[in-house]
Structure formats: C-alpha cells, structure tokens
Amino acid sequence: MMAELPLALFTTLAPVGAGAFIALAVAFFTTKFSDEQLKKIDRMTTIPVVVLVAGFICA
C-alpha cells in the first residue's frame, strides 16, 4: 500500500496543477482584468506551481 503512495500522489497532483494552468489561460483569454486583479492573479499563480512541483517530486 505505501509503495503505491508516490504514484497515487503524482497521478493526482500533476493533473490538478496542469488543470489550474489551463483554467488560468481560459480566464485570461475570456476576461479583461484590471491591474489590481492581475497582481493578485500573479501571486496566486504560485499555488498551481507548488502543486505541480509536489506532484513531480512524488514521481
């Protein structure tokens, strides 16, 4: 059971991080953001990066 945990985490976290980037891309193409909103989005972009890196570390 524990031997399969890294694979389970990788197959869960990597697509979640990639999906978050796809959602951000769709939001950028369909919505006009103010400068203040863009600054908040830039800071929040680190969350999908951390999730994606954690998924790859599990691999």
Query: What does the pLDDT profile of the chain (59 residues) look like in tens digits?
Result: 788 888 888 899 889 888 998 998 899 899 999 999 999 888 888 888 888 888 888 87
Cα-Cα-Cα-Cα dihedral of 22, 23, 24, 28, to 10°? 100
Q: What is the pLDDT of residue 17?
A: 87
pTM to 2 decimal places? 0.72
Q: What is the pLDDT of residue 59?
A: 79
Q: How large is the angle between the packed helices 5-30 and 46-58, nearest 10 degrees?
A: 150
Give the chain's domain count: 1
Containing structural domain, residue 48: 2-58
**What are the angstrom distances between the C-alpha of 21 and each of 6, 31, 53?**
22, 15, 13
Q: What is the pLDDT of residue 41?
A: 87
Q: What is the pLDDT of residue 34?
A: 92
